[in-house]
Homo-oligomer: A and B are copies of this chain.
Amino acid sequence: MSSQDRKLYRRLVSVDEVISIIEKYFPLSPRGEEEVYIGEAVGRIASRDVYSTINFPPYTRSLVDGYAVLSGDLEGVYEDRPARLKLVGKVSTGETKVLSIKRGECIEVSTGAIIPYPADAVVPVEYTHSEGDEVVFYRSVAHGENIDIVGSDVVQGEVVLWKGETITPLTAAGLSAVGVDRVWVYRKIRVGIIPTGNEIRRVGEELKYGQIYDSNSHMVYSLVNFLGSEPKIYEPARDTFDEIKERVDQALAENDVVVTIGGTSAGLEDYVYKVFDTYEPGVIIHGVKEKPGRPLVVAVARDKLLLGLPGFPLSCLITSHLYLLPIVARLQGLKGYRYQVERAKLSQPLRGRPGIRVFVPTILVRRGETLAYPLDGHSGRIASLNMIDGFIIVREDEEYVPQGSSVDVLRYIFSKIYDINVIGSHCPLFQEILRKIFADTEARIVNVGSTSGLNALKSGIADIVGTHLLDPETMEYNIPVIKRMGLKDVVVLRGYIREQGFVYRKEIGEVKGMLDIMERKLRFVNRNPGSGTRVLIDYLIEEESRKKGYESEEVRKNIQGYSFEAKNHDTIAYLVSKGIADVGVAIKYVADKYGLAFTPIREERYDIVIRKDVLDRKDVNRLVQLFRGELKTFIKGFTGYEVDEETGKIIEL
A111-132 residues with Cβ-Cβ distance < 8 A to B are: 111-114, 117-120, 125-126, 128-130
Would you give the shortest CB distance from A32 to chain B, in whole angstroms? 18
| Contact, CB under 8 Å: B445 / A159 | yes
Would you give the shortest CB distance from A475 to chain B, in whole angstroms? 25
Residues 92-123 of A, flagged 1 when their CB comes within 8 A of B and 0 if not, give 11111110000000000011111001111000
Number of interface residues of A (CB under 8 A): 160
Bound: A161/B213 CA distance, A: 17
Bound: A131/B239 CA distance, A: 26
| Contact, CB under 8 Å: B382 / A563 | no
| Contact, CB under 8 Å: B63 / A174 | no
| Contact, CB under 8 Å: B150 / A97 | no
A564 in complex: contacting residue of B117, B130, B160, B385, CB < 8 Å: B117
Main secondary structure of the interface of A (DSSP, over half): loop
| Contact, CB under 8 Å: B566 / A210 | no
Question: Assuming the A-B contacts A58-B207, A169-B219, are A428 and B157 also in contact, with contact meaning beta carbons closer than 8 angstroms in the complex?
Answer: yes
Instruction: Determine if A156 is an interface residue (Cβ-Cβ < 8 Å).
Output: yes
**Residues on the B chain within 8 Å of A56, using CB:** 382-383
| Contact, CB under 8 Å: A39 / B93 | no
Q: Which of A112, A166, A380, A382 has the most CB of B within 10 A?
A: A112
Instruction: Determine if A386 is an interface residue (Cβ-Cβ < 8 Å).
Output: yes
Stretch from A455-463, A488-496, A534-542, A569-577 forming part of the interface with B? A569-577
Instruction: Determine if A41 is an interface residue (Cβ-Cβ < 8 Å).
Output: yes
**Residues on the B chain within 8 Å of A200, using CB:** 94
**Residues on the B chain within 8 Å of A523, using CB:** 117-118
**Residues on the B chain within 8 Å of A110, using CB:** 267-269
**Residues on the B chain within 8 Å of A226, using CB:** 42-43, 169
| Contact, CB under 8 Å: A40 / B442 | no
Question: Assuming the A-B contacts A226-B42, A561-B117, are A158 and B447 also in contact, with contact meaning beta carbons closer than 8 angstroms in the complex?
Answer: yes
Bound: A130/B1 CA distance, A: 8
Instruction: Determine if A179 is an interface residue (Cβ-Cβ < 8 Å).
Output: yes
Bound: A61/B149 CA distance, A: 73
Q: Which of A93, A128, A174, A385 has the most CB of B within 10 A?
A: A93
Instruction: Determine if A416 is an interface residue (Cβ-Cβ < 8 Å).
Output: yes
**Residues on the B chain within 8 Å of A557, using CB:** 72
Instruction: Determine if A509 is an interface residue (Cβ-Cβ < 8 Å).
Output: no
**Residues on the B chain within 8 Å of A239, using CB:** 93-94
| Contact, CB under 8 Å: A222 / B440 | no
Would you give the shortest CB distance from A15 to chain B, in whole angstroms? 21
A553-586 residues with Cβ-Cβ distance < 8 A to B are: 557, 560-568, 570-571, 574-575, 580-581
Instruction: Determine if A178 is an interface residue (Cβ-Cβ < 8 Å).
Output: yes
Instruction: Determine if A190 is an interface residue (Cβ-Cβ < 8 Å).
Output: no
| Contact, CB under 8 Å: B118 / A564 | yes
Bound: A78/B235 CA distance, A: 44
Residue of B nearest to A171 (CB): B386
| Identical copies in the complex | 2
| Contact, CB under 8 Å: B55 / A3 | no
Instruction: Determine if A181 is an interface residue (Cβ-Cβ < 8 Å).
Output: yes
| Contact, CB under 8 Å: B213 / A386 | no
Residue of B nearest to A432 (CB): B159
Residue of B nearest to A449 (CB): B152
A164-221 residues with Cβ-Cβ distance < 8 A to B are: 164, 166, 168-181, 197-200, 203-204, 207-221
Bound: A150/B207 CA distance, A: 14
**Residues on the B chain within 8 Å of A575, using CB:** 150
A118 in complex: contacting residue of B384, B440, B560, B593, CB < 8 Å: B560
Instruction: Determine if A426 is an interface residue (Cβ-Cβ < 8 Å).
Output: yes
| Contact, CB under 8 Å: A174 / B383 | yes
| Contact, CB under 8 Å: B386 / A570 | no
| Contact, CB under 8 Å: B198 / A382 | no
| Contact, CB under 8 Å: A39 / B225 | yes
Residue of B nearest to A144 (CB): B565
Instruction: Determine if A393 is an interface residue (Cβ-Cβ < 8 Å).
Output: no
**Residues on the B chain within 8 Å of A217, using CB:** 176
Instruction: Determine if A506 is an interface residue (Cβ-Cβ < 8 Å).
Output: no
Instruction: Determine if A255 is an interface residue (Cβ-Cβ < 8 Å).
Output: no
| Contact, CB under 8 Å: A219 / B173 | yes
Instruction: Determine if A163 is an interface residue (Cβ-Cβ < 8 Å).
Output: yes
A174 in complex: contacting residue of B215, B268, B412, B445, CB < 8 Å: B215
**Residues on the B chain within 8 Å of A95, using CB:** 198, 210
Residues 225-255 of A, flagged 1 when their CB comes within 8 A of B and 0 if not, give 1100001010000110000000000000000
Bound: A110/B55 CA distance, A: 69
| Contact, CB under 8 Å: B380 / A166 | no
**Residues on the B chain within 8 Å of A426, using CB:** 155, 158
Instruction: Determine if A54 is an interface residue (Cβ-Cβ < 8 Å).
Output: yes
Question: Assuming the A-B contacts A159-B431, A179-B207, A203-B181, are A170 and B388 also in contact, with contact meaning beta carbons closer than 8 angstroms in the complex?
Answer: yes
- Some 7 contacts from A to B, beta carbons below 8 A apart, are A58-B211, A93-B199, A94-B198, A98-B210, A119-B564, A178-B213, A336-B442
A39-B222, A96-B211, A179-B204 provided; 20 other pairs, C-beta below 8 A? Answer: A42-B414, A55-B571, A56-B383, A60-B564, A71-B563, A94-B199, A95-B198, A98-B209, A98-B210, A149-B566, A153-B383, A154-B382, A156-B574, A158-B426, A158-B570, A159-B435, A160-B383, A169-B414, A174-B383, A179-B213
What are the 9 tightest A-B residue pairs by CB atom distance, in nearest-first order? Answer: A94-B198, A151-B571, A155-B570, A118-B564, A168-B414, A173-B219, A39-B221, A177-B215, A96-B210
